[in-house]
Structure 1
Amino acid sequence: MTGGPKASRRVICAALAGAAALSATLFPGAAALAGPADKLRDSLSRGRSAEISAPPIARFVAQDGRVFVLDRTQPAPMLKFEDSPEVWVLSPSPAPRGDVIYKNDLGEPMLRATRLGGVTLFSRQRPAGEPVSLAGGGVPLRLGGLSPQALSERMLQASVRSGRAARRQVVFEAEATPASAALIADAAMVVSLAFVRLAGRDRDALGQVDSVRFSEGRRPSASLADGVLTIVVSPGHGLAGRPSSDRVAKAIRTAD
Structure 2
Amino acid sequence: MSAVRPKKHLGQHFLKDLNIAKQIADGLTRHGGYDKVLEIGPGTGMLTQFLLQNEGETSVIELDRDSVAYLKQHFPQLEGRIIEGDFLKLNMEDYFPGQFAVIGNFPYNISSQIFFKVLDLKQQVPEVVCMLQKEVADRLISPPGNKTYGILSVFLQAYYDLEYLFTVPPNVFNPPPKVNSAVIRLKRNKRVSLDCDEVLFRRVVKAGFQMRRKTLRNALKPINLPEELNGEKVLDQRAETLSVDQYVELTNLITSCRE
- TM interval, shorter chain, is under 0.3
The structure whose RCO (Cα within 8 Å, separation 6+) is larger is 2
TM-score, scaled to structure 1? 0.26
TM-score, scaled to structure 2? 0.26
Q: Which has the larger radius of gyration?
A: 1
